[in-house]
Structure 1
Amino acid sequence: MSENILDVVIIGSGCAGHTAAIYAARANLNPLVFEGHEPGGQLSLTSSVENYPGFPEGINGFELMDRMKKQASSFGAKYVMEVIKEVDLQQRPFKISAEGGEYLAQTLIIASGARAKLLDIPGEKEFFGKTVSTCATCDGALYRDKTVIVVGGGDTAMEDATFLTRFAKEVHLVHRRDKFRASKIMQDRALNNPKITVHWNSAVTEICGEGNNVSHVRLAKHPKGSPAQKLQEHDGNAESAGVTIDEFKCDGVFIAIGHIPNIEFLHGKLATNNDGYIVPSHNDANCASCDVETAIPGVFAAGDVVDWQFQQAVTAAGMGCKAAMAAEEFLSHQTPES
């Protein structure tokens, strides 16, 4: 192989990307890792990771990511803080266009993660980054002795709400259904916290305020189901839908309703499901690495960019490991002419 052609390029520097870098570097594949706009991924914004094996006291998410990067670097992985613009997957070596130039790679591991979804309601854009946030650990300390709202019903919403009780005097958890989808342990923590009040069958329909500060939200409620769905069924008429809409005073809004995979640079060159997650190549009981292989030989995907269900640090790390080992095996079967 040409010296100008890299054996492995890894896009993303979260749990999946770092783990792939560790394994690829230990296999002497000299991986190049593109960190992107958010080095360390979403986990770097998490204050306390309690369920990653080997840390019984828990560990700060940024510290965990930093340790992984140092470990990968110690084996020879190289990191560049560039964002990928586009990839050409039509032939190998694959062409990767980044902010700093173009790169060629025999194999590509996509571990670019996902970003938070937004509500797409009036006031959200105006106050986003001010008193509307998707990162409780980043901004929670700004709401000491204040009242905040967390929107969502999964693990992230439970974690955010629980974390915010360290600072806020009141945390109101708004969920569109009558039960959470979060894991039981996370639900129990939120439901048993005296600072957290749950608003079932509810939805924030508008965020209001002045300048940079949120003053209140419009909170829609329905006694038996999703208020947004009921409003849609009745052309937005709250009265006929049986929906009540009240003004609810608060100082900040935290949105925790899911994620969107960061794959814009692919421009549709790999198959995805309806939510935008990369779809593995096939499901074969005799294929141990099928969950990280894509339809294009030599291109692998790992972590939250492909895992729409679990989205855990440990599963992302496991997929990163599999992707690197699959890339190593793929390369071992290639000839210089192939």
Structure 2
Amino acid sequence: MENVYDVIILGAGPAGLAAGLYAGRSRMNALLIEKGQDGGQIATTSEIENYPGQAVDTEESGPSLIARMSKQVEHFGCNRVADTVTAVELQGDVKKVIGKKGEYCAKSIILATGAHSRPIGCENEAQFVGKGISFCATCDANFFTDLEVYVVGGGDSAVEEAMYLTGFARKVTIIHRRDELRAAKSIQEKAFANPKLNFMWDSVVEEVGGDEGVLATMKVRNVKTDEVTVIEADEDDGMFGLFGFIGFLPNTDLYEGQIELERGYVVTDDNMKTNVPGVFAAGDLRKKSLRQVVTAAADGAIAATQALKYCED
């Protein structure tokens, strides 16, 4: 079994990093593969308040938390490689991962490739992504300094990101298809107390547009009355920003037809086992009731522990 790892971990978000930490500490011959920067979605979060054990008088950001996790993984000896995975072979005693830089084999595999932002779903959306439409406030807030900004969504992420944007934009308006927010009450209290935050209830974005590829117009429909409001950028500004935070889609296309999926999410038991022996899943790509940093990390720890037992049997 030369050149065959005990476990390959796909993805370096909180789930993958926790798996790498536990695999390294267990002295497994482990390989963690990530195509980009560590952290996944949490790497773009400006503030974290609900990760257990952090100091309440010290601000914690996604990048700072992930940096410490990555350092732990390195310290305990988990192998790392930067590569883009193009295919996987999950059946059989030896699992194979095909990347642009090479092929990797292991006795077991942990799928921790996370999820990505769900599109807003309006007409012409693709034309304006990166030209007024964004899905990451931490990444792009500074591009909208002193402009008007609109945020689609009503959950925790949408409201938190909207509040973050008020530190840059002249005015921020949350567009939500319901008549009340879904965010936690503590987050709502902060939002309603913010003088730069406004709300458009019972509304969805139907269409966006603009000249020369810059977002400058938007049609918003009231779902109860069907009344359409046309929003145009201030003449002096020439554009406005539109951020989408309406959920995520699992990054599981590579696994279709090989393991059990439900609405795109990987189905596992409580031990992170899929329906294929030696294949485990952890984090936001897994079918579960709560997707948070703490649950992703827990998933990764369980998956690595179960992968060790699988390899020892």
TM-score range, shorter-chain basis? Answer: over 0.9
The match for 1:69 is 70
Please state how far the C-alpha of 1:182 moved relative to its aligned partner. 2.0
The corresponding residue for 2:255 is 266
Aligned to 1:249: 232
Q: Is residue 96–residue 102 contact of structure 1 (8 Å, CA) maintained in 2?
A: yes
8 A Cα contact 2:154 2:181, kept in partner: yes
* Contact residue 153 and residue 175 of structure 1 kept, 8 A: yes
Report the Cα distance in structure 1 between the residues aligned to 2:107 and 2:150, rounded to whole angstroms. 47
Aligned to 1:114: 115
Deviation digits for residues 125-181 of structure 1 (CA, Å, limit 9, x no counterpart): 111012100001100111111110000111110111111011111111001112222
Amino acid of the residue matched to residue 198 of structure 2?
T
Give the deviation of 1:303 after TM superposition. Answer: 0.5
**Which residue does the alignment assign to 1:278?**
266
Deviations 1:178-199 (A, max 9, x none): 2222222222222221111111
Q: Is the 8 A contact 1:261 1:305 kept in 2?
A: yes
SS at match of 2:304: helix
What is residue 199 of structure 2 aligned with on the other side? 198
Alignment of 1:1-338 (within 5 A): 2-56=1-55, 57-222=58-223, 224=224, 242-250=225-233, 251-274=240-263, 276-281=264-269, 289-290=270-271, 292-333=272-313
The aligned residue for residue 284 of structure 1 is: none
- Deviation string 1:53-75 (CA, Å, 9 cap, x unpaired) is 22222322112112111111111
What is the alpha-carbon distance in structure 1 between the residues aligned to residue 147 and residue 288 of structure 2? 34
Question: SS at 1:328's partner residue?
Answer: helix
Amino acid at match of 1:271: E
> In angstroms, what is the RMSD of aligned CA positions?
1.4
SS at match of 2:210: strand
Q: Distance in 2 between matches of 1:5 and 1:204?
A: 50
The 3-state SS of whatever aligns with 2:131 is coil
* Runs of 4+ residues deviating >4 angstroms: none
* Contact map agreement 2:262 2:287 (CA 8 A) in 1: no
Q: Which ranges in structure 2 are unaligned for 5 or more consecutive residues?
A: 234-239
The aligned counterpart of 1:237 is none
Letter aligned with residue 187 of structure 1: Q
What is the distance in 2 between the residues matched to 1:88 and 1:179?
A: 45
With the length of structure 1 as denominator, give the TM-score of the two structures.
0.87
Paired with 1:188 and 1:217, the residues of 2 have a C-alpha distance of 28
| Structure 1 CA distance for aligned equivalents of residues 93 and 85 of structure 2 | 18
**1:308 Cα offset (Å):** 4.8
Aligned mates of 2:195, 2:3 — CA distance in 1: 60
Contact 2:120 2:152 in 1 (8 A): no
CA displacement 1:30-77 (0-9 Å, x = unmatched): 211111245321111111222212222232211211211111111101
Shift of 1:268: 2.6
Unaligned runs of 5+ in 1: 225-241, 282-288, 334-338
TM-score of the two chains, using structure 2 as the length reference: 0.93
User: 1:263 is aligned with what amino acid?
Assistant: T
Tell me how many residue pairs correspond in the alignment: 305
What is the DSSP-based 3-state SS (H/G/I as helix, E as strand, rest coil) of the residue aligned with 2:266?
coil
Q: Deviations over 1:176-226 (max 9, x none)?
A: 11222222222222222111111111011011212242112101114x4xx
